[in-house]
């Protein structure tokens, strides 16, 4: 890991790129010496989807060029040394598999059936969901690719992955799922149906094991799909609600400015990304904080100091059973 990080620092220095936004972990439970695993959830922003005249109009074009972005994406992925990476909008799976493979990760990928990336010239292929894991710590026992279903049980263009892992240190078994629900306003009902479908799949698969569900839900805590997860028979809660003494979600996990067809700007600041965990079988010991509005800057995301329009979510967990 250190060799790759040093190489990244060297390349970043040559390009005179600023440091990534500084973030720190907030302890949510007293340390007791138990074995922890670190899980990262991140919509990395598909490179093809950085294009378009209305996209990210406050972001310097050079910050979106792949030669620069690839350095920042990899830097963010490895700087916290997560045990498991759950990623969305991955249109560079081979690049990530080759790069992360140098520091002990293996991974699996499920593309969307009809990726919007193909609408853009010079795209890098279909985007989809991916899971990477540290092979020295974890054994992948099984994995399933899932096409999410909506109304009348019809397949949609959104996907999920379900992985069954065993911790090599203590042989405990747990599941991790990553998903990316339908984007844009007006699709609350479809997101609700997709979430319900995924929960039904998980209930049948995970049985008595702990489960962690990561994803870009494209849904605020006020949407029905959020309530569906809160009320699920799986007994899950949102890891990032631990940042608040009232159990509230953070104010934002994405913050961007886009252009409109009439030459105006539209700003979007909301919480739509989550890490869910089994409350009776696992504990959250720390979560990575979100940068302040002042640190993010008036141009918002993405930027030279952060390569995606979504922040990564990272938490340390202990599996209790």
Summarize pLDDT for 123-176 with one digit per residue, the tens: 999 999 999 999 999 999 999 999 999 999 999 999 999 999 999 999 999 999
Give the residue-averaged pLDDT of 245-272.
92
pTM, rounded to two decimals: 0.97
The pLDDT tens digits for 291-319 are: 999 999 999 999 999 999 999 999 999 99
Per-residue pLDDT, 4: 85
Taking a C-beta distance cutoff of 8 angstroms, is the pair 45, 55 a contact?
A: no
One of 3.60.10.10, 1.10.8.640, 3.20.20.70, 2.60.40.1180 is the CATH number of 2-20+37-319, namely 3.60.10.10
Nearest residue to 116 via CA among 192, 194, 191, 52: 52
> What does the pLDDT look like over 46-102, one tens digit per residue?
999 998 766 899 999 999 999 999 999 999 999 999 999 999 999 999 999 999 999
Quote the mean pLDDT of the chain: 95
- For residue 33, pLDDT beyond 90: no
Residue 262: pLDDT band with limits 50, 70, 90:
confident
Q: Taking 70 as the threshold, does the pLDDT of residue 210 lie above it?
A: yes
Kindly list the domain boundaries of the chain, sorted by start residue. 2-20+37-319
Angle subtended at Cα 303 by Cα 307 and Cα 261, rounded to the nearest 5 degrees: 105
Nearest-5° Cα angle at 61, 56 to 62: 135
């Amino acid at each position: 890991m250190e060799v790759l990080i040093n190489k990244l620092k060297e390349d970043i220095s040559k390009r005179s790129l600023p440091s990534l936004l500084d973030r720190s972990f907030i302890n949510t439970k007293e340390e007791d010496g138990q074995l922890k695993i670190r899980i990262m959830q991140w919509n990395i922003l598909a490179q093809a989807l950085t294009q378009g005249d209305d996209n990210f109009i406050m972001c310097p074009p050079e910050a979106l060029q792949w030669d620069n972005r690839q350095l920042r994406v990899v830097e963010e992925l490895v700087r916290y040394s997560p045990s498991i990476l759950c990623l969305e909008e991955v249109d560079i799976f081979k690049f990530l598999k080759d790069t992360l493979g140098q520091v002990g990760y293996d991974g699996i990928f499920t593309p969307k059936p009809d990726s919007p990336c193909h609408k853009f010239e010079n795209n890098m292929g279909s985007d989809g969901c991916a899971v990477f894991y540290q092979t020295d710590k974890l054994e992948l026992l099984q994995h399933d690719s899932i096409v999410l279903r909506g109304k009348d049980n019809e397949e949609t263009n959104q996907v999920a992955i379900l992985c069954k892992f065993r911790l090599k240190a203590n042989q405990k078994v747990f599941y991790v799922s990553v998903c990316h629900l339908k984007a844009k306003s007006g699709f609350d009902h479809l997101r609700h149906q997709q979430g319900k479908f995924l929960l039904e799949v998980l209930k049948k698969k995970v049985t008595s094991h702990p489960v962690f569900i990561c994803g870009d839900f494209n849904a605020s805590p006020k949407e029905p799909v959020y309530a569906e997860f809160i009320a699920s028979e799986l007994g899950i809660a949102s890891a990032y609600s631990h940042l608040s003494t009232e159990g509230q979600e953070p104010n934002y996990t994405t913050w961007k400015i886009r252009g409109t067809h009439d030459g105006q700007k539209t700003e979007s600041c909301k919480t739509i990304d989550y890490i869910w965990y089994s409350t009776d079988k696992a504990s959250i010991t720390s979560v990575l904080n979100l940068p302040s509005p002042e640190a993010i800057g008036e141009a918002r995301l993405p930027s030279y100091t952060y390569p995606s329009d979504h922040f990564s979510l990272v938490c340390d967990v202990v599996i209790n059973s």
